[in-house]
Chain A
Amino acid sequence: MSIKKKLNRLKSHMSHEGGVDHTDRNRSHVVMDDIPYRDVWEKAGVTPYYFEGNYCLIREVVYPIQQMHGNYSFSQFIDAVEAWNHHGGVNHPLSAAGFQAENFFFFDTETTGLGGGVGNSIFILGHASLSNNSIHLKQHILPQPGAEVPLYKSFLESADYTTMATYNGKSFDWPQVKTQHTLIRNHLPKLPEFGHFDLYHASRRMWKHKLERLKLAIVEKEVLGIARKDDLPGFLAPMIYFDFVENKDPQGMLSILKHNEIDILSLITLYTHLSFQILGLDKKQSAHEKYEVGRWFSQIGEASEAKQAFMHVSKGNGVEAMKAKHALAFENKKQRNWQAAIDLWKEVVNEGEGMLIIEACIELAKIYEHREKNFTDAIAFTKKAEKSLQQIIQEDQIKISISLDDLTKRSDRLSRKIQKQKRDEKCL
C-alpha cells in the first residue's frame, strides 16, 4: 500500500487541522520578473526588493506632520519629545531626554501564530519614524516563506534607529525577530542593540483602573480617540496570510497592511499622549490619571515629581483627592516629615472613606507609637481602625488585606505599653 493511501486511512488518528482549502494548487516558484498581481501591488504603493535571487515586498507611506491620528497630530509627537528634553533631569522610563524625535522607531509585526516557537514566523515587519518633517511608514512583507533573507535584509537596512517603541514588543515581537534572525544569521548582519519603550506596560499602569483589557485597539478607542473603520480582527491575520500564500491575491493582505499601519501610527499617538500625561501637559487629564502618574514616579523613586502630582490631585475633591493625600502622606513619611504626614493622614481619617481611613489610622498609630511615643493617641487610632474594619466586614464581604487580628495585637501591645508607662511614671 502506498504511504499516501495509508495516510488517508490513518487520518482520524492525526491531530492536525488542515489549512484553508483552495482549488488553486499551483506551486509558486520565484520568478523575478513575474510577481503575481504586480499591478495591484503597485497601485497600493508596494514595490519589490530584490536580494540574492529572491525578493520581498515593501510598502511605503508618507504622512504630513500636521496629520491628525486620534486626538493628536504627529507634530505633537515632536512637542512631546521636546517637552521631555526641556523638562530636564526627570528620570522616567518613558523619558526622551537626550533623544531627537527622529531617533524614534515605532515598530509592530504580524505573525503566523501566537506561540513563541521557531515555526511561528513574521510576515509583516512594519515601522514608522520621523524624517524631513514627515512621518515615514514602511512595511516589509514576506511574499511567501522562503523569502526571509530579503525580508530581514531590507528591514535591517532601514532600521537606522536608536530607540524602539512597541506595544508588548519586549516579550513578543522582538524575541520573535531574534528567533527568525537566528535561523538566517549567516546571511545577515547582526541585530543591533537599542533602547526599547514598551508602551503596553505604560498603558497598563495608566489605564488598568478603567479598561478591562488592554489590547491596543481598546486603548485607541477608549483613550486616544482613534476610530478604526472596517478594521480586520487581528486573529484572522494568520488565516488570511496562509490564504494569500496559496492564491497570491493581495486583497486580504492589503487589509492586514492597513491594520498594521494603524497599529504603528497609534503607537505615535500613544507615546505622545503618555508623555503629555506624565509631564502634566494634558489639560483633560483625569484626577485618577494624574494620581497614577504620581504613583509611577513614586515607585521609581522620583519623590519630588511624585509629590507634585499628588499635591495637584489632592487639591481637588472626591476619592482621588483623598487617595492622593494618602499617597502624599506616604511620600512625607518616606522623607521623615512626620508632622506633614500626620496632618495629611488626619485629613484622610476625617474626610475619607472605607479602607483609606483604616490604613490612615494604622499609619497614624505607627507614628504615634514609634516616633512620638504617644501611646494614648496611638491606641485611639488603632481602636478607630478596629471599629471601621469591623463595620466594613459586616457591611460587605469584600476581600480585605488588613487583618483584624493584627489590629487587635497592636492595640493589646499599646495597652501594655500604656500600663508600663504609667508604672514608670509612678516610680519617677
Chain B
Amino acid sequence: MKVRKDLNELINELKNNDAYKENIVHWQTIEAKEAKTADIPLNIHPALMEALQKRGITSLYTHQKIAYETVATGKSIVAVTPTASGKTLCYNLPVLQTISQDPNARALYMFPTKALAQDQKSEINELIEESGLPINSYTYDGDTSSNIRQKVRQAGHIVITNPDMLHSAILPHHTKWVSLFENLKYVIIDELHIYRGVFGSHVANVIRRLRRICHFYGSDPIFICTSATIANPLELAETLIEKELVLINNNGAPSGRKHFVFYNPPIVNKPLNIRRSATLEARKLAYEFLKNKVQTIIFARSRVRVEILLTYLQEIIKHKLGPKAIRGYRGGYLPTERRDIEKGLRSGDIYGVVSTNALELGVDIGQLQVCIMTGYPGTIASSWQQAGRAGRRHSESLVIMVASSSPLDQYVIQNPAYFFSRSPETARINPDNLIILIDHMKCAAYELPFRIGEQFGSFETEEVLEYLAEERVLHQNGEKYYWMNDSFPAHNISLRSASQENVVIIDQSDIANIRVIGEMDRFSAMTLLHEEAIYLHQGTQYQVELLDWEEKKAFVREVAVDYFTDANLAVQLKVLEEDRRYTTALGEIGYGDVSVTAMATIFKKIKFETHENIGSGPISLPEEELHTSAAWISINKPFSEGKQDRLEHGLIGAAHALRHIAPLFVMCDPEDIHVIPQVKAAHNEMPSIFFYDRYPGGVGLSDKLYEGMMHVLSEAKEMVANCRCERGCPSCIGMDSNIDTAKKDVLQLLAHFNKGEIHVN
C-alpha cells in the first residue's frame, strides 16, 4: 500500500509533475514572518495579567500594545488584523481592564454572525474564568432563552450580539437596557470589512441609532473595530461610525511560509480560447490532497458550485474517507448543521470542506493546510481572507487559485503583479441611500422622537421628517416629530438583503416528515428556486415542485438526476432622471436614477461533467421592478454605419468585459453591480452601456463608477487587447461570435467611449 504523502511532498509534486506544472502560471512564496512584540502594560490588573500568563501570553504583539495604549487615551480605533493575528486581544484587553476597575462599565460586542459571537463568547469567558474576575459576558441573540434575557440586560458587563439583533431587539426596547446604555464604555465592531455595500449601509444607520440612544442616556462609547486588509479601513470605519478613529495597521503577529500558486486550466478549444472548467480542475487538485488526508478547504463562488463540487468529491472520496469526511458549508444551511461542521474541522474529523465565502469570516475552524479557490473570489481582499484559511502561525501552507474562463479571472491570473502589488479594494457604503436611511429613521423615531433640526448621524433630517409627517408616519408637535403608527418598524426591515421576505425551502420528500431545510432571498429565488429547478443542498439534489410566490414557499423533493439548472433573467432599463453628465469628444457619460425591470424567462438543464445543454423550460414568475441609480456611457456618432448587428455585438462584448472589470474598482460582489448594453437608449437615443446598483436607491457603486469611468474603460480595453484569442472568447468579450470583427469592434467601441477617437475600419 502506498504511504500517505505529506504537504511538502505534494508541493514538490505540484512543482515537478507535468500534469500540473504546465498550468502553473505563477508561484509566489511568501516567507515566514517573525513576531514583533512588546511588554504587557504594567497597569494591567494583576488577575488579568495572571490569566494571560496562564494562557501562555507573556508579551503582546506590537499592534495589540498600540491598540491598548490608544484606547486608554479615549480614542476610538480601527485595527487591521489579518487572519490569526490575535485581534481579539486588541479589544478584550482594554474592555476587561476597564471593567476590572469599574464594575459598572459595560461593553457591547457586535459580530456579523451568530456563529462568530458564540466563538468569541467562549474565548472571552475562558480568559475571564482564568482571571477569576467577577465579569459577566453573555451572547444576546435569537437563541438566547427568555429566562436569562433579563439577566443579560441588567447584569451583563459584556453583551455579545449581531447587528440584526441590535436593530430589531435591543434598540427598539432600549428602556429595558438602561444599565447598558447609561454605562456603555466600549462598542466592539469585529470584521468591519463585512459592513460594506447594502449591508454596511444598513449597519451604518443602526450605529446612528445606537449612538443616538447612547446620547439620550448620557454615554459616548469608544469604538474598537477590527478589519481584514482592505484599501480604506479608516475611511470605512469613519463613514460607518461617523466618528474620528485612529488606524492601527502595524501587524506584529508571525506567520508561516506560504505558497501562493496561480493555476490556469489548460485550453481545450484553441480557436475559441476555452479552458477546462475551473470546477473540474479544482476537483482534481482537491482529490490529490484529500486522498492523502491533508486538510483542505475549497472555496467556490456560488451556492450551486459548492454543491456541484461537493457531489463530485464525495463521490470519489467516499470509499477512502467515508461520506462525512467532506462537507459543504454555505448560507442556507441551518445553524446546527454549520456548528457541527465547524467542530468537525477543528477536531480533524472532517478532512475537507467546500464552502462559499461564508467561511471567509473568522469562524474558528482551526488550521487547514491547503486552500483551493475555484475561480478568483472577486476581490483581492476576499482572496487574502480565503488564503488565510490555510496555515496559521507557524506551519507551511499552500494556496491554489484556479482561474475560470471569465475575463476577470483571466485578467488577474495573467497579471500576478497586479494581484500581489495592488492594494486591496476599497469598501464603500452609502448610509444616506434614501431607501435604507428612511427605514432607519422610522426605527429611530420609534425609539425616540426627533427634534426639529436634529441630525441623524451626519444627515440633515428636515426634508425626510417632513415627508414622513406627510405620509402620516410621524406627527409633528411643537419642536418634535413623534412616531404615529401602530406598527413595529424594525420587524419589516432586514439588514441583509434587498428583498424583505425570504423564500422558505420545504422538503416534502417524506410526506410524514415535511421539514424546512433552508431559505433564500427573493431575488435569488427567481433564478434558483423556480419550478423544475434543481436545488442542491449538502450535495443532495432536490427538484422544486411548487414555488408559491405569494406565500414565499418553495416545495422541493429529493431527486437523483445528472444535470443542474441555470436560469436567464431578462432585464429592461429606462432613465428616469439625469443628475450629472459630462460630454466627451464623441459621446457623453451620465449618472442618475433609473428604473429596471427584471423577469426570469427560461431555464436550461445542463449536464454534469460535459456541461452540455440538454433541455430547457419557461419560468412564469411576476416581473420585479427596481428603482436605483446608474452610470452610463453613450456615443453620439453612428458606429460602423449601416452595420447594426456589428454595433449590437460590439456593445454586448464591451458590456461583458466591463461587467467583470467594474467590480474590481468598487470592491463589490459582481452581483451588486449590473451592466447592460442598449443599442438605442430611450433617453438620449444613443448607443449606451449602463451600470446600475442592484439595491433600490443605490449604495454608491454607480456613483463611484461615474467618477472613475475613464479608468474603468481603459482597463477593460487593455484586458480585451491582451487576451490571446483572435476573435473574441469567453475570457474577454464573452462570445463565440460568428462575426469576425467582434473583438476589433469591441476595442473600437471602448476606445470610442473612452477617448472619443475612432479608427477607420
Interface residues of A (CB under 8 A from B): 1-4, 6-7, 9-10, 12-21, 25, 27-30, 112-121, 144-146, 178-179, 182-183, 238-239, 242, 245-246
* Residues of the A chain whose Cβ atoms lie less than 8 Å from the Cβ of B434: 3, 6-7, 10
* Residues of the A chain whose Cβ atoms lie less than 8 Å from the Cβ of B467: 3-4, 7
Q: Given the complex of chains A and B, what is the CA–CA distance between A14 and B438 in angstroms?
A: 8
Q: Which of A7, A10, A117 has the most CB of B within 10 A?
A: A117
Contact B478 A118 (CB under 8 A): no
B471 at the interface (CB under 8 A from A): yes
Contact B696 A21 (CB under 8 A): no
A144 and B178 contact, Cβ closer than 8 Å, known pairs A3-B463, A9-B576: no
Q: Given the complex of chains A and B, what is the CA–CA distance between A16 and B447 in angstroms?
A: 16
Contact B464 A119 (CB under 8 A): no
The secondary structure that dominates the A interface is loop
Q: Given the complex of chains A and B, what is the CA–CA distance between A10 and B627 in angstroms?
A: 7
- Interchain nearest-CB distance for A29 vs B (Å): 6
A119 and B483 contact, Cβ closer than 8 Å, known pairs A9-B627, A10-B435: yes
Pick from A14, A112, A182, A246: contact of B175, CB below 8 A. A182
B458 at the interface (CB under 8 A from A): no
Q: Which residue of A lies closest to B177 (CB)?
A: A182
Q: Given the complex of chains A and B, what is the CA–CA distance between A242 and B178 in angstroms?
A: 29
Contact B486 A113 (CB under 8 A): yes
- Interchain nearest-CB distance for B749 vs A (Å): 30
B707 at the interface (CB under 8 A from A): no
* Residues of the A chain whose Cβ atoms lie less than 8 Å from the Cβ of B576: 9
Q: Which of B14-22, B45-53, B487-495 contacts A (4 or more CB under 8 A)?
A: B487-495
Q: Which residue of A lies closest to B466 (CB)?
A: A4
24 sample A-B contacts, Cβ–Cβ < 8 Å, listed by A number: A4-B466, A6-B434, A14-B438, A15-B439, A15-B492, A15-B500, A18-B471, A19-B473, A28-B478, A30-B477, A113-B486, A113-B487, A118-B446, A118-B448, A119-B488, A120-B486, A144-B482, A145-B449, A145-B480, A146-B477, A179-B176, A238-B486, A242-B475, A242-B484
Contact A117 B579 (CB under 8 A): no
B445 at the interface (CB under 8 A from A): yes
Q: Which residue of B lies closest to A7 (CB)?
A: B467
* Residues of the B chain whose Cβ atoms lie less than 8 Å from the Cβ of A116: 173
- Interchain nearest-CB distance for A422 vs B (Å): 47
A12 and B482 contact, Cβ closer than 8 Å, known pairs A4-B463, A17-B487: no
* Residues of the A chain whose Cβ atoms lie less than 8 Å from the Cβ of B324: none
- Interchain nearest-CB distance for B479 vs A (Å): 8
B355 at the interface (CB under 8 A from A): no
Contact A119 B627 (CB under 8 A): no
B522 at the interface (CB under 8 A from A): no
9 nearest CB pairs, A to B:
A19-B472, A119-B446, A145-B482, A182-B175, A117-B172, A113-B486, A13-B696, A238-B486, A115-B488
Contact B472 A18 (CB under 8 A): yes
* Residues of the A chain whose Cβ atoms lie less than 8 Å from the Cβ of B448: 118, 183
Contact A30 B625 (CB under 8 A): no
Contact B478 A29 (CB under 8 A): yes
B106 at the interface (CB under 8 A from A): no
* Residues of the B chain whose Cβ atoms lie less than 8 Å from the Cβ of A10: 434-435, 627, 696-697
Q: Given the complex of chains A and B, what is the CA–CA distance between A15 and B439 in angstroms?
A: 8
A179 and B439 contact, Cβ closer than 8 Å, known pairs A7-B434, A118-B446: no
* Residues of the B chain whose Cβ atoms lie less than 8 Å from the Cβ of A118: 172-175, 446-448
Q: Given the complex of chains A and B, what is the CA–CA distance between A27 and B697 in angstroms?
A: 31
Contact A179 B175 (CB under 8 A): yes
Query: Binary interface profile of B, 56-94, with partner A (CB < 8 Å = 1, else 0)?
Result: 000000000000000000000000000000000000000
Q: Which residue of B lies closest to A9 (CB)?
A: B627
B34 at the interface (CB under 8 A from A): no
- Interchain nearest-CB distance for A342 vs B (Å): 41
Q: Given the complex of chains A and B, what is the CA–CA distance between A12 and B435 in angstroms?
A: 10
Q: Given the complex of chains A and B, what is the CA–CA distance between A144 and B477 in angstroms?
A: 7
Q: Which residue of B lies closest to A175 (CB)?
A: B176
A13 and B475 contact, Cβ closer than 8 Å, known pairs A19-B485, A118-B172, A179-B175: no
- Interchain nearest-CB distance for B549 vs A (Å): 18
B593 at the interface (CB under 8 A from A): yes
| A13-B435, A14-B435 given; 20 more Cβ-contact pairs under 8 Å | A2-B463, A3-B434, A4-B463, A6-B697, A9-B593, A16-B473, A17-B485, A17-B487, A28-B478, A113-B487, A113-B488, A119-B445, A119-B447, A119-B483, A120-B488, A145-B475, A145-B484, A146-B482, A245-B475, A245-B484
Q: Given the complex of chains A and B, what is the CA–CA distance between A1 and B488 in angstroms?
A: 31
Pick from B175, B176, B486: contact of A114, CB below 8 A. B486
Q: Given the complex of chains A and B, what is the CA–CA distance between A125 and B230 in angstroms?
A: 55
Q: How many chain B residues touch A (Cβ–Cβ < 8 Å)?
A: 49
B577 at the interface (CB under 8 A from A): yes
* Residues of the A chain whose Cβ atoms lie less than 8 Å from the Cβ of B466: 4
Contact B577 A20 (CB under 8 A): no
* Residues of the A chain whose Cβ atoms lie less than 8 Å from the Cβ of B178: 182
- Interchain nearest-CB distance for A96 vs B (Å): 30
B153 at the interface (CB under 8 A from A): no
- Interchain nearest-CB distance for B476 vs A (Å): 5
B442 at the interface (CB under 8 A from A): yes
Contact A7 B464 (CB under 8 A): yes
* Residues of the A chain whose Cβ atoms lie less than 8 Å from the Cβ of B471: 16, 18-19
Q: Given the complex of chains A and B, what is the CA–CA distance between A1 and B591 in angstroms?
A: 12
* Residues of the A chain whose Cβ atoms lie less than 8 Å from the Cβ of B449: 145-146
* Residues of the A chain whose Cβ atoms lie less than 8 Å from the Cβ of B176: 179
Q: Given the complex of chains A and B, what is the CA–CA distance between A13 and B694 in angstroms?
A: 13
* Residues of the A chain whose Cβ atoms lie less than 8 Å from the Cβ of B476: 27
- Interchain nearest-CB distance for A100 vs B (Å): 33
* Residues of the B chain whose Cβ atoms lie less than 8 Å from the Cβ of A20: 472
Q: Which of B178, B449, B466 has the most CB of A within 10 A?
A: B449
* Residues of the A chain whose Cβ atoms lie less than 8 Å from the Cβ of B175: 118, 178-179, 182-183
Q: Given the complex of chains A and B, what is the CA–CA distance between A239 and B485 in angstroms?
A: 8
Q: Which of A13, A14, A178 has the most CB of B within 10 A?
A: A13
B residues 427-475 near A (Cβ < 8 Å) are 434-435, 438-439, 442, 445-449, 463-464, 466-467, 470-473, 475
Query: Binary interface profile of B, 574-604, with partner A (CB < 8 Å = 1, else 0)?
Result: 0011010000000000000100000000000
Q: Given the complex of chains A and B, what is the CA–CA distance between A12 and B595 in angstroms?
A: 12
Q: Which of B176, B448, B577 has the most CB of A within 10 A?
A: B176
- Interchain nearest-CB distance for A152 vs B (Å): 13
* Residues of the A chain whose Cβ atoms lie less than 8 Å from the Cβ of B484: 19, 112, 145, 242, 245
Q: Given the complex of chains A and B, what is the CA–CA distance between A178 and B593 in angstroms?
A: 46
- Interchain nearest-CB distance for B107 vs A (Å): 22
* Residues of the B chain whose Cβ atoms lie less than 8 Å from the Cβ of A245: 475, 484
Pick from A18, A30, A178, A246: contact of B475, CB below 8 A. A246
Contact B482 A117 (CB under 8 A): no
A1 and B593 contact, Cβ closer than 8 Å, known pairs A118-B174, A119-B172, A144-B477: yes
- Interchain nearest-CB distance for B696 vs A (Å): 4
* Residues of the B chain whose Cβ atoms lie less than 8 Å from the Cβ of A14: 435, 438-439
* Residues of the A chain whose Cβ atoms lie less than 8 Å from the Cβ of B477: 27-30, 144-146
Query: Binary interface profile of B, 167-203, with partner A (CB < 8 Å = 1, else 0)?
Result: 0000011111010000000000000000000000000
Contact B478 A16 (CB under 8 A): no
Q: Which residue of A lies closest to B595 (CB)?
A: A9
Contact A3 B464 (CB under 8 A): yes
* Residues of the B chain whose Cβ atoms lie less than 8 Å from the Cβ of A114: 486
* Residues of the A chain whose Cβ atoms lie less than 8 Å from the Cβ of B625: 12
Q: Which residue of B lies closest to A8 (CB)?
A: B467
* Residues of the A chain whose Cβ atoms lie less than 8 Å from the Cβ of B493: 15
Q: Given the complex of chains A and B, what is the CA–CA distance between A71 and B500 in angstroms?
A: 51
Contact B475 A144 (CB under 8 A): yes
Q: Given the complex of chains A and B, what is the CA–CA distance between A6 and B438 in angstroms?
A: 12
- Interchain nearest-CB distance for B489 vs A (Å): 7
Q: Which of B471, B493, B500 has the most CB of A within 10 A?
A: B471
Contact B172 A1 (CB under 8 A): no
B residues 471-529 near A (Cβ < 8 Å) are 471-473, 475-478, 480, 482-490, 492-493, 500
Contact B486 A112 (CB under 8 A): yes
B residues 683-709 near A (Cβ < 8 Å) are 696-697
